[in-house]
Structure 1
Amino acid sequence: MSNLELTVLEPEAVPCCAPITSAELSAEDAVRMAAMFKALADPVRLRLFSKVASHEGGEACVCDIQDVGVSQPTVSHHLKKLREAGLLTSERRGTWVYYKVAPSVVAGMSALLDLNR
């Protein structure tokens, strides 16, 4: 057995589009970004997204983030909406589902709104 450690490198965050001050959004980029912002416009979804994004290790089991004041089926509904908008990825491990913020999402949304670029 080897003593080598495997290092997994996360892909570098790449914004989806240029800042809104640099050029007009394409229709395709506007639709994609609107879906993301719409998904985050719900307080429960925003809390769930925040819980996943800030969770130790960058991923969270649904069992660790479901305490947002709504029922478990409602939590599942909101997490599905966040996945459909491209904000979260998920992986089933046994009976639990683990969520991660989708690569480049936060950087892309931030870059879109960066007025100083």
Structure 2
Amino acid sequence: MTSPQTLEPTVDASCCTPSEGAGLGAEEAKQRALIFKALSDPNRLRLLSIVKANESGESCVCDLTDPLDLSQPTVSHHLKMLVDAGLLHREKRGTWAYYSLVPGALERTAGLLTGL
């Protein structure tokens, strides 16, 4: 009877060499994830489209509750997430808040995946 043959693992040196590109840094990945998270909700996508479609370029929070059939606090929460992600700008006027697209935000967002 022959003894079992011992196999030695082969080491591919190229798999252990650090890559040339550093990839995304932690802070940049966090910022991109914040944007994608904001866009991952259908109501937030609808809010963006409503604000963008408004002829004046802005929408009052009071005009955004009916189209979504959501309460004002819920709409305000969604709008805050879009503001925090850098997609919308908020301007307070008296008791109402008005929202507009941040210039260039949609174009920058469209390029986030291509820049990986």
Shared fold (TM-score, shorter chain, > 0.5): yes
Give ranges in structure 1 of 5+ residues lacking alignment.
1-22
8 Å CA contact 2:51–2:58 kept in 1: the answer is yes
Residues 52-98 of structure 1 show CA distances to partners (whole Å, capped at 9, x for unaligned) of 12211221111222220211111111111111222111111122211
Larger radius of gyration: 2
One-letter amino acid matched to 2:106: V
* Mapping for residues 11-26 of structure 1, pairs under 5 Å: 24-26=23-25
Q: How many residues align?
A: 94
Correspondence for 1:102: 102
Q: What TM-score do you get using the length of structure 2 for normalisation?
A: 0.70
Give ranges in structure 2 of 5+ residues lacking alignment.
1-21
Query: Percent of counterpart pairs with the same letter?
Result: 54
Correspondence for 2:85: 85
Correspondence for 2:62: 63
Correspondence for 1:6: none
- Backbone CA RMSD of aligned residues: 2.1
Query: Residues of 2 paired with 1:26 and 1:57: CA distance?
Result: 38
Query: Residues of 2 paired with 1:79 and 1:29: CA distance?
Result: 22
